[in-house]
Amino acid sequence: MSTQDLAPSPAGPGHGPVDVEQAEAALVEHYPRLVRIAYLVLPPSLGRNRRVLTAHALVQRSLPRRRTSGATAAGSGGGPEDAVDPGYAYVRGEVLRQALTAGLPLRRRALPRRAQFPPLLPHVWGLRLFPRAGGADELALDQRLSALSGPARAVYVLRGLERQGDPEVLRMLAAAGVEDATAALAEADGVEAHYGLLDSPEFDPCSLQARPTDLMRRRQHGKAALAAAAAVVVCGTLLGLPGDGWGRNGAAAPSYARNPAAEAALDPGKVKRVAPAVWQLSTRTDFSVWPERGGLVGDRALLRRALAVWARPGGSVRTSATPGTPAGPPMGPPQLLYAGEVDGARVVLFHDGLRAVRYAEPVGETSGAALDFARTDGADAVGSSALVVSRSSAAVRYLTAPWVRETAVRDLLAPAKEPWPLERDADGVTGAMLSPAQARGCASWNTLQVRDGAGTRLLTDLGELVPARLTSGPPAAPVDATGAEARAGWARTACQLAAVRSHGVRSVNAWRFAEQRLPEGGGRAAWLCTRAETWRGTGTRVLAQFQVPAPDVAAALAAKADGSPACGVREPRVLAGVLWQARSGRWYVLAAGSQDVASLRTSGGVTAHAKGHLLALKAEPGARANLSGTLTDGTTLTALR
């Protein structure tokens, strides 16, 4: 635990002297509370990983080196802790002062302070740490707090966590060096008082989740560490010389060959920029007519870094690509879609005709850049309605197409619930919405509902840059899954979408191909075929599902296949079967095919033949049967498996 000299003490007069032992005892006892205060007051623009580490560092260096007088004007007359424990009040005042200092911008003529720099310790190599995700209320509160100034956030935290009255809050802010504490109180009054949410896991920097940064690259390059270190020493001298160097390209690896066409693609002055009104006159409606948007479209240094990393991602860059998407450099100057600051990161979106590319770097940091690729060739107006511009562990933001008129959020698992509006800024970036892409369970499945000039669409996040379109109906004539009947069907099959996450999916269609009356008066069951089409055309995934009459029971997965033409335009038919138990305890083999199936046959554990496209036979528990069908034209159809 590090210490520092504090002069004068931010606590002010009003209490007796506090020594190191007394302050340390208070710090150890109340450590989780102090770290939570620091985390909430620190600016969200630092990013969640750096906020966590900085919060711990600020608390750990809040001890005095020596016995110091004056302890708690920052909290005299506050909660019971202040009355009996001046050591806690002293450390809390120090934490508050440093957290407010960390949010101040660096200025050229002002001497920088220690709290304004990233902490040297604690530091975690190879991992990014962040608190556990909370619910929608915590996410909304975090967004509102991020819009406040540092002193106003401190007011909200002191009122909510420390239960301080306004006179005490004013004294604590003044002791921490806030010039206009009254204005901070007024600003904090604009945020609705949901103080109970401050105790949630969303704001607990002591209960953390960890994710790797560059695991594969560390494994691949571990043996070359010594050679790389020697190369850095040699190259460092050369890069300091005048002329073109590696440094200005940020996380990009060095270039070892020069090519005129490749260099043109890396020139930020040659990126394609589309005017705002072009899409209204163009015969095409896709990514090619998206205008450039964002507050950083004129930042040539940012664009240069993004293009350089795209062409030569260095070892510290986290790169991802949807299946079938080449991750190589652009063949020519790409089109600029967006450049701006979102959720503590500088984000750039490009399009090169084949791919959408997202570059992101933390604000104020030189490491942690990310590069994502997604194939988008052949996108139509619906397929180019939105792109992911920011993603956290639980939420996602989209950049919407200029022709999108309204955005909303609809929960697929609650078909009767009305969608709720999703706000967008002037650039078309939506507010944050909870995403099912990384959820462990399936308590809800939020989708993005967009309305354009031709209708309303449902798009779902499957962990990729481009959300997938959801449709319903026969393969030859699917419609957007926005009607009441389509939503009711999707409500019981939405959780199966987890099977196609990160699969390069372009659209998913759910088709009710059969209904069947169950034996022993069990009601009417439904058979659905869900087909996920990919951007690359191959690698489709087909799921056959069986829905019992109970509306609250999710569909059961009967069969699945990869690369099958079933349920598609080329082969609009399907056959599937399940083993089902009636209320009496008897077991049955149930099978159903699409309407063009003339007869069904089973062999193996159960042997039978039935006319038509439905079959129900008594069977032994655990029986296995081979199922096939004959179409009306005499062709044999095998069951999906």
Per-residue model confidence (pLDDT) at position 352: 94
Per-residue pLDDT band for 209 (boundaries 50, 70, 90) equals confident
Kindly report the CA angle at 345 between 340 and 350, in degrees rounded to 5? Answer: 50
Q: How far is CA 314 from the centre of its chain?
A: 23
* Angle (deg, nearest 10), helices 166-175 and 86-102: 60
Average pLDDT over residues 96-110: 75
Lowest mean pLDDT among 99-103, 166-170, 555-559, 560-564: 99-103
Tell me the C-alpha distance between 293 and 3, whole Å: 46
Q: Is the pLDDT of residue 244 over 60?
A: no
Per-residue model confidence (pLDDT) at position 7: 31
Tell me the C-alpha distance between 181 and 239, whole Å: 47
For residue 500, give the nearest of 475, 470, 457 by alpha carbon: 470
Q: Is the pLDDT of residue 325 over 70?
A: yes
Kindly report the CA angle at 572 between 571 and 577, in degrees rounded to 5? Answer: 100
pLDDT digits over 286-299, tens only? 999 999 999 999 99
Per-residue pLDDT band for 237 (boundaries 50, 70, 90) equals very low
Cβ-count burial 242-260 (b if 16+ within 10 Å, e if not): eeeebeebbbbbebeeeee
Percent of the chain scoring above 70 in pLDDT = 85
Per-residue model confidence (pLDDT) at position 25: 84
Lowest mean pLDDT among 233-247, 585-599, 601-615: 233-247
Q: Beta strand 433-434 with 395-400: parallel, antiparallel or unpaired?
A: antiparallel
Residues in the chain: 641
User: Are 63 and 1 spatial neighbours (Cβ–Cβ below 8 Å)?
Assistant: yes
Tell me the C-alpha distance between 85 and 80, whole Å: 8
Where are the domains positioned within the chain?
A: 20-211, 243-372, 484-641
Per DSSP, the residues of 539-589 read --EEEEEEE-S-TTSPPEEEEEEES--BTSSSB---EEEEEEE-TTS-EEE
Helices vs. strands in the chain: H and E counts, helices first: 15, 27
User: Are 346 and 361 spatial neighbours (Cβ–Cβ below 8 Å)?
Assistant: yes
Q: Which residue has the tokens 């720099």?
A: 117
Q: Is the pLDDT of residue 138 over 50?
A: yes
Q: Is the pLDDT of residue 211 over 80?
A: no
Per-residue model confidence (pLDDT) at position 221: 53
Tell me the C-alpha distance between 57 and 129, whole Å: 14
Lowest mean pLDDT among 57-66, 111-120, 370-379, 615-624: 111-120
pLDDT digits over 491-537, tens only? 999 999 999 999 999 999 999 999 999 999 999 999 999 999 999 99
Per-residue model confidence (pLDDT) at position 241: 44
Average pLDDT over residues 587-593: 94
Per-residue model confidence (pLDDT) at position 550: 86
Q: Is the pLDDT of residue 70 over 70?
A: no
pLDDT digits over 438-466, tens only? 888 899 999 999 999 999 999 999 999 99
Q: Which one is predicted more confidently, 265 or 231? A: 265
Q: Is the pLDDT of residue 279 over 90?
A: yes
Per-residue pLDDT band for 127 (boundaries 50, 70, 90) equals confident
Average pLDDT over residues 574-590: 94
Q: Is the pLDDT of residue 232 over 60?
A: no
SS3 of the chain: helix, strand, coil, percent, to 5: 30, 30, 45
Q: Which residue has the tokens 């089902």?
A: 580
**What amino acid occupies position 109?**
R
Strand ranges of the sheet holding 597-604, from the earlier edge strand across to the other edge:
608-611, 597-604, 625-631, 636-638
pLDDT digits over 403-417, tens only? 999 999 999 999 999
Per-residue model confidence (pLDDT) at position 142: 83
Per-residue model confidence (pLDDT) at position 441: 86
Dihedral sign from CA coordinates of 7, 10, 14, 18: negative
For residue 492, give the nearest of 557, 413, 569 by alpha carbon: 413
Task: Quote the mean pLDDT of the chain.
Answer: 85
Per-residue model confidence (pLDDT) at position 140: 80
Tell me the C-alpha distance between 457 and 403, whole Å: 13
List, as own/partner pairs, every contact residues 518-526 make where C-beta atoms lie below 8 angstroms and the sequence separation is at least 24, other chains included.
Answer: 518/548, 518/549, 518/580, 518/582, 518/590, 518/616, 519/582, 519/586, 519/588, 519/616, 520/582, 520/583, 520/584, 520/586, 522/548, 522/549, 522/582, 522/583, 523/548, 523/549, 524/549, 525/549, 525/590, 526/489
3-state secondary structure of 615: strand
pLDDT digits over 9-49, tens only? 343 334 446 778 888 888 888 899 999 999 999 988 888 88
Q: Which one is predicted more confidently, 340 or 621? A: 340
